[in-house]
Amino acid sequence: MNYFPDEVLEHVFDFITSHKDRNSVSLVCKSWYKIERYSRQRVFIGNCYSISPERLIARFPGLKSLTLKGKPHFADFNLVPHDWGGFVYPWIEALAKSRIGLEELRLKRMVVSDESLELLSKSFVNFKSLVLVSCEGFTTDGLAAIAANCRFLRELDLQENEVDDHRGHWLSCFPESCTSLISLNFACLRGEVNLGALERLVSRSPNLKSLRLNRAVPLDTLQKLLMRAPQLVDLGIGSYVHDPFSEAYNKLKIAIQRCKSIRSLSGFLEVAPHCMSAIYPICGNLTFLNLSYAPGLHGNKLMKLIQHCRKLQRLWILDCIGDKGLGVVALTCKELQELRVFPSDPFEAGNAAVTEEGLVLVSAGCTKLNSLLYFCQQMTNAALITVAKNCPNFIRFRLCILDPIKPDPVTNQPLDEGFGAIVQSCKGLKRLSLSGLLTDQVFLYIGMYAEQLEMLSIAFAADSDKGMLYVLNGCKKLRKLEIRDCPFGDSALLEDVGKYETMRSLWMSSCEVTLGGCKSVAEKMPTLNVEIIDESEQMEFNLDDKQKVDKMYLYRTLVGHRKDAPEYVWIL
Amino acid sequence: MSPPLLGVEEEGQSRVSSPSVECISHNGLGIRERNYLGLSDFCSVDSSGVPDDNGNNLNLKATELRLGLPGSQSPERETEHCFLNSGKLDEKTLFPLLPSKDGICSSFQKSAVTGNKRGFSEVKGTIYTEKKWMGHGAVPDSQSLQPVSHGKYSVAQASVKKDGPANVVQEQPCTSNGTKVNRTDISNNSSAPTANRAQVVGWPPIRSFRTKTLTTSSKNNDEVDGKPGPGTLFVKVSMDGAPYLRKVDLRMYSTYQELSSALEKMFSCFTLGQCGAHGTPGKEILSESKLKDLLHGSEYVLTYEDKDGDWMLVGDVPWEMFIETCRRLKIMKSADAIGLAPKAMDKSKKDC
């Protein structure tokens, strides 16, 4: 139904930026589909194997920004073998051959080779922005190619990647003519950088707003950089170690005071706690503080720092902050929306750094809290119920009790009631990760109440297939389900195979599903790729359908079996 | 050899939490006190005469499993010490007590001592397999395996998870060896997951990048007494007459000169104060050069306590050797330094 000329509709669609909305728009009618696809500039692909680059290019010729995700989430925790897949090269190759004027590429959990980076840097004249999160496979040589060839580069953002650092001069490869940088984040690099080149680069980048340094950048260089870039909004400090009586430290204090725009602070990869007072002047404006890589900062120094941060909205911290420190957060950070507490010593049980008490304190003090990642020693039902009452706005609730099957230490009961309270109270909950001793009951609650739930992570939980069934039947908006070490078997898996087509992916490892069950799913649902990942060569010896499958990963796809799977991945 | 033993046990006890999980799993109890005892049992098991064969088995097993294992220094040492307690000379050759540097030449040394190269999940894989053996109860020397896995665990727990080709390559032999065992125990595992929870691959769910980075960070920021990491080496510096001590990171300096200047700056306030209190002859303002004279010249002498507990004059041995043996520093008045510095004997015994 078209009452307007195409150009008008196109103009209207320009205001629709969310991927979901644009997808909906394209489904209205053929003409809207056509207009939408020609005007679409940003595409998000949550699973790089769900579609092929050729089809993407064919549908969206005006593509400028592409986001791709590769490996399943559990790859972060070493559950997916190294060369499982997620290679970006074919994408870049295909895009390079086409007439797509790619400007932005954002990758997560993908394998990025130096060749890919080089090809990327040479193929797209207007390439502006490269964001790599949790990727691997490249070295600083690849970065050198990006620096050297992307003449209009605005953003180079490397987050938590495994980079083989050749200690080359990749920073020096930015030509003198490159003055367009807005964001530079190389905090994850472990090697030395050419400090002089870095200083010169920052000096000639007047638009630089975000700068995150790695450990190799010492305090006196930091001071020089800040003097040259007082307009920074986001700062990641590398090494923060110096004698508090030194000249460099005094200069740093002055430099920091000039940086009135800093709203986001991270890093402190090496830190001398007695030097923190220099930071206090900017703390009052901070909205994001990430100290999760700074184990050297704890105790009173840490608390004092936090007491200065009254406007904080997002806080990422290590559990050495302790329950007491979380109490300080609760009193100080009234605007807090997101809290992540990471373990500083994940394998040392008994260092009870944070417990349920800290979480309760934060929930009481920070009522705007909507996103939580919390690693703790223990949790009680009572605490969870209190948290649910205090903070009904949770969108993301990820709780990780370090002992995965630990019950409520006070009542010795499973944590079903606690999590049940969370899902019941937080009507907008989209992401949930469970831990602790859990029975089928918690899944009943999830199925009943978690209507908006999109992603669920389960480990070492449940008593029977019923658990999985409650979830599959109840959570209508479920997109990603990842399960490990639960007693879910074929009857749960096969109950409603059609459901998997409404989801992005399902991961099940160390469960009770058998080869036969997986084959059954694959047979019934040709639009799913059902992958069996088994490195033990067992699959070759024993093709018995009753064999339990170690790892199964299934996902919907429009392009059938992928061709780049390694030997130990069997696509049914 | 008693001081080292004591040192070991202290160190061991300071690590009480590390094998505690291990102990929970073995005993099937969640009581923490139990674990504490279990830990010291571990050390004493090793120090009491463990029969040769077992000792050797421990040793070899540890070697096998250790190949290329990434780990932090401290747990390495702890295990080394425990092994040494059983009085095996062979172990000394396998686990030389050199602090590991990044540039260790011998690859065997690397794998045995540093263990910095192996994927965490490989160890997990092996421990996992070991655990299965114990679970089966079919292993005859389950007793001796326990300490090994304790040791493994204490190494593993601080070790780093590593994604990498090495991972896959090394994982395969392990898993294929324990394939059948793995299978049945996976199902056992899901019904009895109380066993060895921290040894499970991928738990707790922390990105391997984070684990690796934090391991390096904590090594560098380690300020616990007598626990130097490869990144820093903090030692206490005391000065006669100063109300409190300071600490310096010896790795920040590469020559005696640098250390000396840093100490001068650090303790200048005390020297000034002191002289002021005692009424310096003359109204001279103490400048840095005067300070140097104080330290280098007559008034003060820099000494250090070495590993054997002896007080030595700073400056005799090469810098690298010095930082390896230095435990604490002391700025002594030359009057007190008789026997250490020949110069001091000539000086008067005036206070400041």
Per-domain residue ranges of chain B = 234-272+286-336
Has residue A356 got a pLDDT over 80? yes
Q: Are A185 and A232 in contact (CB under 8 A)?
A: no
Binary contact (B217, A245; C-beta < 8 A): no
- Residue among A134, A349, A457 minimizing CB distance to B209: A134
CA distance B124 to B175: 11
Q: In terms of domains, do A33 and A68 share one?
A: no
Same domain, A4 and A97: no
A530 in the same domain as A444: no
Do the domain assignments include residue A483? no
The answer to whether B158 contacts A162, with C-beta atoms less than 8 Å apart, is: no
Q: What percent of chain B has pLDDT over 90?
A: 1
Q: What is the pLDDT of residues B147-174, one digit of tens each?
A: 333 333 333 333 333 333 433 333 333 3
**Domain limits for position A23:** 1-40
Considering the domain architecture, whether residues A535 and A460 belong to the same structural domain is answered as no
Same structural domain, A52 and A36: no
Question: pLDDT at residue B131 above 60?
Answer: no
Contact between A454 and A478 under an 8 Å Cβ cutoff? The reply is yes
How far apart CA B119 and CA B171 sit, in angstroms, is: 9
Q: Where does the pLDDT of residue A490 fall: very low under 50, low under 70, confident under 90, or very high at 90 and above?
A: very high
CA distance B111 to B119: 12
**Residues in B touching A459 (Cβ below 8 Å):** 203, 205
Q: What is the ipTM of this complex?
A: 0.89
Residues 30-89 of B with CB under 8 A from A: 32, 35
Contact A400 B204 (CB under 8 A): yes
Distance of alpha carbon A556 from alpha carbon B338, whole angstroms: 82
Average pLDDT over residues B275-281: 42
pLDDT, mean over chain A: 92
Residues 210-239 of A with CB under 8 A from B: none
Does residue A87 form part of some domain?
yes
Q: Which residues of B touch A294 (CB under 8 A)?
A: 217
A204 and A271 together in one domain: yes
Question: For an interface test with A, which of B170, B209, B237, B265 has the most A Cβ atoms less than 10 Å from its Cβ?
Answer: B209
Q: Which amino acid is at B225?
A: D
**Pick from B156, B168, B171: which is nearest to A83 by CB?**
B168
C-alpha closest to that of A511 among A543, A484, A547, A542 = A484
Is A362 part of a structural domain of the chain? yes
Q: Å from B108 to nearest chain A CA?
A: 23
CATH architecture of B234-272+286-336: Roll (3.10)
Average pLDDT over residues B66-70: 45
Work out whether the CA dihedral A541, A546, A550, A555 comes out positive or negative. positive
* pLDDT score, position A352: 55
pLDDT of residue B69 exceeding 60, the answer is: no
Q: Quick one: pLDDT at residue B125?
A: 38
Q: pLDDT band at residue B138, thresholds of 50, 70 and 90?
A: very low
Q: Give contacts of A404 with chain B, Cβ < 8 Å.
A: 193, 197, 200, 203-204
Residues 184-213 of B with CB under 8 A from A: 186-187, 189-191, 193-194, 197-198, 200-211, 213
Cα B60 to Cα A498: distance, rounded to the nearest angstrom:
53
Q: Residue A459: which of B156, B203, B210 has the nearest Cβ? A: B203
Residues of chain B with Cβ-Cβ distance to A83 below 8 Å are 165, 168
Q: Are A291 and A309 in contact (CB under 8 A)?
A: no
- Distance in angstroms (rounded) separating the CA atoms of residues A537 and A214: 41
Nearest to A555 by CA among A70, A82, A2, A88: A70
Distances (CA, A) of B222 to A214, A297, B239: 19, 11, 23
Of B217, B162, B199, B74, the residue nearest A318 (C-alpha): B217
Report the percentage of chain A scoring pLDDT > 70: 97
The confidence score (pLDDT) of residue B219 equals 62
Give the confidence band of B301 by pLDDT, cuts at 50, 70, 90: confident
Kindly state whether residues A34 and A78 are assigned to the same domain.
no
Distance from CA of B79 to the nearest CA of A (A): 16
Q: Cβ contacts of residue A544 below 8 Å, gap of 6+?
A: A515
Sign of the dihedral through C-alpha A75, A79, A80, A81 = positive
A473: in domain = no
- Which residues of chain B are within 8 Å of residue A245 when distances are taken between CB atoms? 265
From the list A367, A235, A351, the residue with the least C-alpha distance to A290 is: A235
| Among candidates B32, B179, B204 on the partner chain, residue whose Cβ is nearest the Cβ of A536 | B179
pLDDT, one tens digit per residue, over A278-336 is 899 999 999 999 999 988 888 888 999 999 999 999 999 999 899 999 999 999 999 99
A2: domain CATH number?
Answer: 1.20.1280.50
CB spacing of A404 vs B193 below 8 angstroms: yes
Q: Which two tokens stand for residue A429?
A: 């909950």
Coil/strand/helix, residue A70: coil
The H-or-E segment that residue B331 falls in is strand B328-333
Q: With a CB-CB cutoff of 8 Å, which residues 376-395 of chain A face chain B?
A: none
> Based on the domain organization, do A27 and A52 belong to the same domain?
no
Query: Does the structure show a pLDDT above 70 at B30?
Result: no
Interval A507-564: pLDDT, tens: 999 999 999 999 999 999 999 999 999 877 655 666 788 888 999 999 999 999 999 9
Residues in chain A: 572
Q: Which of residues A61 and B4 earns the better pLDDT score?
A: A61
On whether the CB atoms of residues B68 and B111 are closer than 8 A, the answer is yes
A287 lies within 8 A of chain B by CB = no
Q: Do residues A414 and A439 touch, judged by C-beta distance below 8 A?
A: yes
Residue in B163, B197, B221 closest to A271 by CB: B221
Query: In this structure, are residues A344 and A319 in contact, taking their beta carbons and an 8 Å threshold?
Result: yes
Residues A564, A565, A566: CA angle, nearest 5 degrees: 115
Closest CA to B75 of B126, B150, B23: B150
pLDDT in tens, A194-223: 999 999 999 999 999 999 999 999 888 999
Quick check: A166 and A191 in contact, CB under 8 A? yes
Pick from B250, B249, B288, B248: nearest CA to B271: B288
A57 in the same domain as A29: no
The answer for A299, left when phi > 0, alpha when psi is -120 to 50, beta otherwise, is left
- Per the model's pLDDT, the better-predicted residue between A411 and B318 turns out to be A411
Q: State the helix-helix crossing angle for A219-228 and A247-258, rounded to 10 degrees.
A: 30
- The answer to whether residues A253 and A385 belong to one domain is yes
Task: Quickly state the pLDDT bin for A179 (edges 50, 70, 90).
Answer: very high
Domain count of the fold of chain A: 3
The model carries a pTM of: 0.67
Amino acid at A515: L
Whether A541 is covered by a domain: the verdict is yes
> Is A412 an interface residue toward B (CB < 8 Å)?
no
